[in-house]
Amino acid sequence: MIPAAFDYVRAESAEEAISLIGQHGDESKFLAGGHSLVPLMKLRLAQPTVLIDIGRLTDLSYIREDGDMIAIGAMTRHMDVENSDVLKQHVPLLAHAASHVGDPQVRHRGTIGGSICHSDSASDLPATTLALGATYVAQGPNGTREIAAGDFYQGFLTTVLAPDELLTEIRVPKMNGAGWSFQKFNRRAQDWAIVGVAAWRRNGDSGVGLVNMGSVPILASGVSSALASGASIEDASAQAAEGCDPTSDLNASIEYREHLARVLTRRALEEASAS
Amino acid sequence: MTVIDNMQPSDESIAAGNGVIGQRMLRKEDPALLTGEAVFTNDMKVPGALHLAVLRSPYAHAQIVSVDVSGALAMDGVLHAYSGADLADQWAAPMPCAWPVTDDMKNPPHYPLAVGKAAYVGDGVACVLATSDAIARDALEAIDVEYEPLPAVIDLESALADEVIVHDELGTNASYTWPLVIEENEGDCQQAMDTSAYVVKERYVQQRLIPMAMEPRAVVAMPQPFGGDITLYTATQIPHVLKVMTALTLGIPEQQLRVVCPAVGGGFGSKLDVYAEELLCVQLARTLGKPVRWNEERGENTQATIHGRAQIQDIELAADENGKITGLRVRLLADMGAYLQLITPGIPLLGAFLYGGVYEIPKAFDFSCTGVFTTMTPTDAYRGAGRPEATYAIEHAMDALAREMGIDPLELRRRNFIPKDAFPYEAYTGLVYDSGDHDKAATVAEDLVDYAGVRARQAEQNTPDATKRLGIGVSTYFEMCGLAPSRVLASLNYAAGGWESATVRVLPTSKIQVVTGTAPHGQGHETAWSMIAADKFGVDPADVDVLHSDTAIAPLGMDTYGSRSLPVGGVAISMACDQVIDKARKIAAHQMEANEDDLEFAGGMFTVKGSPDKEMPLAAVAFEAFTAHDLPDDLEPNLEMQVTYDPPNFSWPFGTHMCVVEIDTETGNTEVLQYVAVDDCGNKVNPLIVDGQVHGGVVQGLAQALYEEAAYDSDGNLQSSSLAEYLVPAASDVPSITLGESITPSPTNPLGVKGVGEAGTIGAAPCVMNAVVDALSGLGIRDIQMPASPVKVWTAIQEARNNTQENQQ
Amino acid sequence: MDVTITVNGQQHTHDVEPRTLLVHYIREHVGLTGTNIGCDTSSCGACSVHLNGEAAKSCTVLAAQADGMEITTIEGMAAADGTLHPMQQAFMENHGLQCGYCTPGMVMAATSLLDENPNPTEDEVRIGLEGNLCRCTGYHNIVKSVLAAANS
């Protein structure tokens, strides 16, 4: 319940945050909303020696239109993503997915950037932004770079971000009226998905992201290709589990997860196609 | 002091009340709880207290080779550190098991810290005292324990086969075998099995559950500055029993020990025990002369606080061609866990008398339970304690029988109900069921759920290809509560009594004090007991103070569990009130120079029939009793009476639950669309409180059916050791509950009341699982074990479909 | 390190270890024990307080993160003269609590819910309280209490 001891510093700007993490080295971590990191620290599964609190970087909390994209500051809280009129209009799949993260108390504090950097394949937003073809903007001591979501997630709780890089923005293409659906299957409403599917579709184009079907969020590109070449939803969904590497745990066997991926993908595509 | 048993009910006494009983009175407890003023044990501010932290074995089964606490002692803020061996001479006796169910029951000595061997993950092996909780827990990491791991014992049948022995000195893992055979002639049960038209043979697994009271346990042991007295503040359901057991285990004079329960945040049986940390805190506080406190983190609680259920049940139910039950055989294999805690071995036996359910069962009953040790957290009482398990077995088997016969499960039950006019009914067990009206409860439930309507919808909806299948479940139950008459407990070898004590006094300044031996932890006793007294005396419940949960203030009691507090404790209070009124009547008659028989008492006032100008309020009587200036010759001063009531019988609430579920065959998910509960607990003192008990009980039973399991891996690690993994449902995950009314007063006590705390849980799990199997049996699925998780349901559907395909090929 | 937090309208400054959780800060440094701890995985919500007006699980926030912020705990919900907050009153009138351990967190979560959704359906109340566990009530009366508060 009580984390191991650590030192705490507060950053007043993104530049300062980057500089601080460079100074304090490998055992230091950024603290955003804290709702992925602090739980791990309380169980002593994570024991950073220094926490760099970026919670006051309010200028990284925004949601704005930027041409064909919507730019979301990494420090934007889930509740603000959920309630954003801009997102409801232009990227409703993301606004809706955010409403499923944890519970209201978690959504008041947790941030989209924190969730994406934490890179838990069982979280809702990594798979959703992946399905939407997002790019993530990272700032480091040597400048900024844009990373496609598909290139971002490396492994279990691991991303391509360098230790001294700060995620500053998530850029998501406008959906332009595409149909969409978010299917989250769990035992209790507050739980992580046993399997989840975030999907959008407009005619031949689609994006299907899978939650908790491997050590990273998965883009079911096989499903999208099949749809694009005219397969039925049923046939396309049958491939949903291809290339996945789900685990078994208290709630599911591997076989069951693979089955759920197919069923939920089919249901998601049906719903996405109906609107 | 009076011991009263065999009291006959008085309809008059209920009718003569002042109209308080039966009100949905708001609770007196609420303002302090709602504003955060209430003090739970870990809220206590204890300057100078030493914080205890316990180092727990990470192995399910291991030799403890060495314990080196020097690393902890070297840390700033750490004052003491001890291994189990360091403290071995502190205990006058091992930790108590108060229920040696058989003469040859094997009970390995169990000490607050293990010496030589750790027997479950969570078994305490060392401890630290420090100036803060944080330092104490940090210090645990500096203690070096060398273990030699041994194989874990998780599977009950392997445990029984003695493949790996948990307690070497016993030579076996079997703790006891307890039979209950009730036959007219020897062999009747086997004959029923051999000759009856139908025999269903079922195996059910009562999965291990974690009681998960929202308040984790906490202890503060405070030595008094002079004289050697010590006060134990603890989150317990059993202050009186704990006092006696602590004195015996530590070898200290009982009168030096005072036990106080601050506000207690739920128990459900998990705080009905004598725990290592309580003993450690008291003993260390005594020897060090300083307050010692401890609080449990949730991850500790799931391992270090007792678990519930954990049985394998084999039931054979025989019936004639009409479905009338002809015989019943039950074999239980019960998981004791690593040690026998306070009443661990007796829990499965509490259900032994309920396997016949609400049905007319002939004397062809053969029951036996074997308790085995395993290397998991000890089990003990958890809401219902043996009775939900028994009810599950008979109610689920009845559905299996109905399916085999091809008749409706409700119809089958009706053919077997004990009819209303048969009560009081002497059952096959020799126990007398006080009152019941099973057909009425079933009919009320049937109407509320629209049973016929659901069956019609089900017939339409459950086509072979239907994605969502509808099911309806029924459970009809008896519950046996109030624990028991003390003599019955004696015959079961249970080491405590079944009485309850009440002192009622009218203060000179007119307020009324009720001192009760019950120990509430959410049940609203302050409200309900003040209502009982207010109803008797004709005063405002606000003018009645209820004192409890402090052995210095309420020295006599047998505490709260087993749905006993109202049928035993509440009845004791009503009897004490009657005695006070009798004495007051004598004083009033004397002072008003009237005949006692001419006095009437209502609304707190004594009046004289035929003399409208003569009256004396209770308040005046109390003051007169106090000054003693003019009392009848043979009467002592003061207006205070104490009653100890030993109930003449168990009390037998009963009811019918029905629910409608919809199962998504593609995901295996079960949604409970509707839940109806008709729970008859006799007269209700406060229906608001009764409803709340039923709601809470139902959700716990439903949670056993659909969500919860204390899952262990093969190495004996508890995998569901947090509230993230152990699935206590939230509001979003359970339905609203429709309650139906049925009131059949108990004839065994003057209030006509029964208990209700556990009834909801007893009815719910079989109701939900009957609905689940009802939804799926059309696919050829025979049964699903609890919890009916989506993966389990889906897997069963796949297997059934594969079997169907194979059969069609 | 020093943290300054306004709790129920009163400013407090304390020297705390960085690892001090906000719930421990409230209970041990400020001395308000109404906020309870029921788990260690951010699952139960018993520790819910209002952080800058929104419900948050104080066990999952460091006191350091709350430096300079305003929090309201259960002790701050009733009026100065003791009049219960309408949510507290609704819980009492509808028997929305039994042992009371989850209640402070439940009241804080429920008031935050109604702030954001003043007229919820029963389903919305149930989903809105998905982060708060209760073992005693079975939730039926808690939901009833929140709906009653919404109507008052």
Least CA distance to A38: which residue of chain C? Answer: C60
Question: What whole-number distance in Å separates Cα of residue B135 and Cα of residue C17?
Answer: 12
Domain shared by C66 and C93, yes or no: no
Q: What are phi and psi of B150, to 5 degrees?
A: -120, 165
- Degrees to nearest 5, angle at CA B399 with B393 and B404: 120
Question: What whole-number distance in Å separates Cα of residue B445 and Cα of residue B742?
Answer: 10
A43 and chain C: CB distance < 8 Å anywhere?
Answer: yes
Question: What whole-number distance in Å separates Cα of residue B764 and Cα of residue B773?
Answer: 14
Q: Which residue has the tokens 């039926």?
A: C140
Beta bridge partners of A139: A144, A166
Instruction: Give the residue numbers spanning the domain of C65.
Output: 2-74
User: Of B667, B719, B732, which to mutate for an interface test with A (greatest number of A Cβ within 10 Å)?
Assistant: B667
Four-point Cα dihedral B441, B444, B447, B452, nearest 10: 10
Q: How many residues in chain C?
A: 152
Q: Are B576 and B504 in contact (CB under 8 A)?
A: yes
pLDDT mean over B771-786: 97
The two tokens of residue A167 are: 């995620």
Please, which pLDDT band fits residue B809 given cuts at 50, 70 and 90?
low
C14, part of any domain? yes
> Tens digit of pLDDT for each residue in C66-80?
999 999 999 999 999
DSSP assignment of C58-99, as one string? GGGSBGGGGTT-EEE-GGGTS-TTSPPPHHHHHHHHTT--SS
| Element of type H or E holding B366 | strand B364-373
Name subunits touching B (3+ CB pairs < 8 A). Answer: A, C
Percent of chain B with pLDDT over 70: 98
Please, which pLDDT band fits residue B5 given cuts at 50, 70 and 90?
very low
Domain shared by C19 and C40, yes or no: yes
- For residue B227, the Cα-to-chain-centroid distance in whole angstroms is 37
Residues 136-165 of A with CB under 8 A from B: none
A45 and chain B: CB distance < 8 Å anywhere?
Answer: no
Q: Are A128 and A94 in contact (CB under 8 A)?
A: yes
Final residue of a structural domain among C47, C74, C101: C74
Domain shared by C100 and C57, yes or no: no
Q: Are A156 and A51 in contact (CB under 8 A)?
A: no
Shortest CB distance from A188 goes to which of B298, B720, B729? Answer: B729
HEC sequence for B678-694: EEECECCCCHHHHHHHH
Shortest CB distance from C140 goes to which of B26, B689, B737? Answer: B737
Domain shared by C95 and C52, yes or no: no
Domain shared by C7 and C70, yes or no: yes
Residues 13-72 of C with CB under 8 A from A: 17-19, 21, 24, 37, 40-43, 45, 48, 51, 54-57, 59-62, 64-65
The dihedral through the CA atoms of A260, A262, A265, A271 has a sign that is negative
B590 and chain C: CB distance < 8 Å anywhere?
Answer: no
User: What is residue B275's three-state secondary structure?
Assistant: coil
Q: How far is B214 from chain C (nearest CA, A)?
A: 5
> Tens digit of pLDDT for each residue in A7-52?
999 999 999 999 999 999 889 999 999 999 999 999 999 999 999 9
Percent of chain A with pLDDT over 90: 98
Check residue C139 and give its pLDDT. Answer: 98
Q: Are B683 and B21 in contact (CB under 8 A)?
A: yes
In chain A the beta strands, taken as DSSP E runs, fall at 7-10, 28-31, 50-53, 63-66, 69-73, 135-140, 143-148, 153-155, 158-159, 166-173, 179-185, 195-202, 205-211, 218-219
Check residue B635 and give its pLDDT. Answer: 96
Check residue B2 and give its pLDDT. Answer: 27
Instruction: Give the count of domains, chain C.
Output: 2
Q: Report chain C's mean pLDDT, rounded to a whole number.
A: 98
HEC sequence for B113-153: CCCCEECCCCCEEEEEEECCHHHHHHHHCCCEEEEEECCCC
Cis omega (within 30 of 0) on the bond before B424?
yes
- Degrees to nearest 5, angle at CA B166 with B72 and B57: 20
Q: Are B213 and B265 in contact (CB under 8 A)?
A: yes
Lowest mean per-residue pLDDT among A51-60, A65-74, B744-753, C120-129: B744-753
Final residue of a structural domain among C31, C48, C74: C74
Question: What whole-number distance in Å separates Cα of residue C108 and Cα of residue C74?
Answer: 7
> Tens digit of pLDDT for each residue in B280-319?
999 999 999 999 999 999 999 999 999 999 999 999 999 9
Q: How far is B669 from chain A (nearest CA, A)?
A: 8
Q: What is the ipTM of this complex?
A: 0.99
Check residue A60 and give its pLDDT. Answer: 98
Please, which pLDDT band fits residue B10 given cuts at 50, 70 and 90?
very low
A187 and chain B: CB distance < 8 Å anywhere?
Answer: yes
Question: What whole-number distance in Å separates Cα of residue A270 and Cα of residue A264?
Answer: 10
The two tokens of residue A10 are: 């507060």
Least CA distance to C46: which residue of chain A? Answer: A105
Question: What whole-number distance in Å separates Cα of residue B336 and Cα of residue B342?
Answer: 11
Q: How far apart are the first and last CA of chain A?
A: 46
Check residue B27 and give its pLDDT. Answer: 98
Domain shared by C42 and C92, yes or no: no
Look up the CATH number of the domain holding residue C19.
3.10.20.30
Question: What whole-number distance in Å separates Cα of residue A101 and Cα of residue A111?
Answer: 10
Question: What whole-number distance in Å separates Cα of residue B651 and Cα of residue B666?
Answer: 45
Q: Report chain B's mean pLDDT, rounded to a whole number.
A: 95
| Element of type H or E holding B426 | strand B425-426
C81, part of any domain? no
Check residue B226 and give its pLDDT. Answer: 84
Question: What whole-number distance in Å separates Cα of residue B81 and Cα of residue B128?
Answer: 4
Q: How far is B465 from chain A (nearest CA, A)?
A: 15
Q: Are B54 and B295 in contact (CB under 8 A)?
A: no
Nearest in space to A27 (alpha carbons), one of A164, A184, A222, A202: A164
Q: How many residues in chain B?
A: 809
> Tens digit of pLDDT for each residue in C25-62?
999 999 999 999 999 999 999 999 999 999 999 999 99
Interface contact A1-C37, CB threshold 8 A: yes
Amino acid at C145: S
Interface contact A256-B729, CB threshold 8 A: no
Q: How far is CA B59 from CA B114, B152, B194, in A?
A: 13, 8, 47
Look up the CATH number of the domain holding residue C145.
1.10.150.120
- Indicate the burial class of B472 (C-beta count within 10 angstroms; 0-12, 13-18, 19 or more): buried
Domain shared by C109 and C57, yes or no: no
**pLDDT of B6 higher than 60:** no
Mode of pairing for the β-strands spanning B611-617 and B425-426: unpaired
C116, part of any domain? yes
- Degrees to nearest 5, angle at CA B722 with B720 and B723: 105
Shortest CB distance from B699 goes to which of C34, C78, C139? Answer: C139
**pLDDT of B12 higher than 90:** no
Interface contact B730-A43, CB threshold 8 A: no
B299 and chain A: CB distance < 8 Å anywhere?
Answer: yes
C25, part of any domain? yes
pLDDT mean over B344-360: 96
- How many other C-beta atoms can be found within 10 angstroms of the C-beta atom of residue B257? 23
Question: What whole-number distance in Å separates Cα of residue A262 and Cα of residue A244?
Answer: 11
Check residue B16 and give its pLDDT. Answer: 54
C80, part of any domain? no
The dihedral through the CA atoms of A181, A187, A189, A193 has a sign that is negative
Please, which pLDDT band fits residue B8 given cuts at 50, 70 and 90?
very low
Shortest CB distance from B692 goes to which of C74, C98, C131? Answer: C98
Interface contact B731-C75, CB threshold 8 A: no
> Tens digit of pLDDT for each residue in A103-125?
999 999 999 999 999 999 999 99
Find chain A residues with C-beta within 8 A of C112's C-beta: 104-105, 108
Question: What whole-number distance in Å separates Cα of residue A248 and Cα of residue A254?
Answer: 5
C57, part of any domain? yes
Domain shared by C62 and C90, yes or no: no
Q: How far is CA B107 from CA B100, B275, B340, in A?
A: 8, 16, 7
Domain shared by C95 and C147, yes or no: yes
User: Of A250, A258, A262, A265, which to mutate for an interface test with B (greatest number of B Cβ within 10 Å)?
Assistant: A250
Interface contact C41-B723, CB threshold 8 A: yes
C145, part of any domain? yes
Amino acid at B385: A
Q: Are B547 and B554 in contact (CB under 8 A)?
A: yes
User: Of B43, B679, B732, which to mutate for an interface test with C (greatest number of C Cβ within 10 Å)?
Assistant: B732
In chain C the beta strands, taken as DSSP E runs, fall at 2-7, 10-15, 48-51, 54-57, 70-72
Question: What whole-number distance in Å separates Cα of residue B684 and Cα of residue B752?
Answer: 9
Question: What whole-number distance in Å separates Cα of residue B748 and Cα of residue A126?
Answer: 64
User: What is residue B557's three-state secondary structure?
Assistant: coil
Question: What whole-number distance in Å separates Cα of residue B771 and Cα of residue B662?
Answer: 9
Q: For each of the domains in chain B, give its residue range(s) and CATH number, in order of start.
A: 41-150+216-264+271-304 (3.90.1170.50), 308-483+649-808 (3.30.365.10), 499-645 (3.30.365.10)
> Tens digit of pLDDT for each residue in B110-131?
999 999 999 999 999 999 999 9
Q: What are phi and psi of B448, to 5 degrees?
A: -65, -35
Check residue B9 and give its pLDDT. Answer: 40
Question: What whole-number distance in Å separates Cα of residue B107 and Cα of residue B105?
Answer: 6
> Tens digit of pLDDT for each residue in B47-64?
999 999 999 999 999 999
**pLDDT of B13 higher than 60:** no
Q: How far is CA B405 from CA B399, B458, B804, in A?
A: 10, 19, 21
Q: How far is CA B33 from CA B696, B713, C101, C139, C141, in A?
A: 18, 39, 8, 17, 16
**pLDDT of B750 higher than 60:** yes
Q: How far is CA A230 from CA A204, A219, A224, A268, B421, in A?
A: 8, 19, 10, 17, 72
Q: Are B356 and B112 in contact (CB under 8 A)?
A: no
- For residue B134, the Cα-to-chain-centroid distance in whole angstroms is 34
C79, part of any domain? no
Final residue of a structural domain among C43, C74, C105: C74
Nearest in space to B564 (alpha carbons), one of B494, B513, B637: B494
User: Of C21, C42, C127, which to mutate for an interface test with A (greatest number of A Cβ within 10 Å)?
Assistant: C42
Please, which pLDDT band fits residue B484 given cuts at 50, 70 and 90?
confident
Q: Are B301 and C37 in contact (CB under 8 A)?
A: no
Domain shared by C15 and C68, yes or no: yes
**pLDDT of B1 higher than 50:** no
Question: What whole-number distance in Å separates Cα of residue B320 and Cα of residue B342?
Answer: 42
**pLDDT of B772 higher than 50:** yes
Check residue C128 and give its pLDDT. Answer: 98
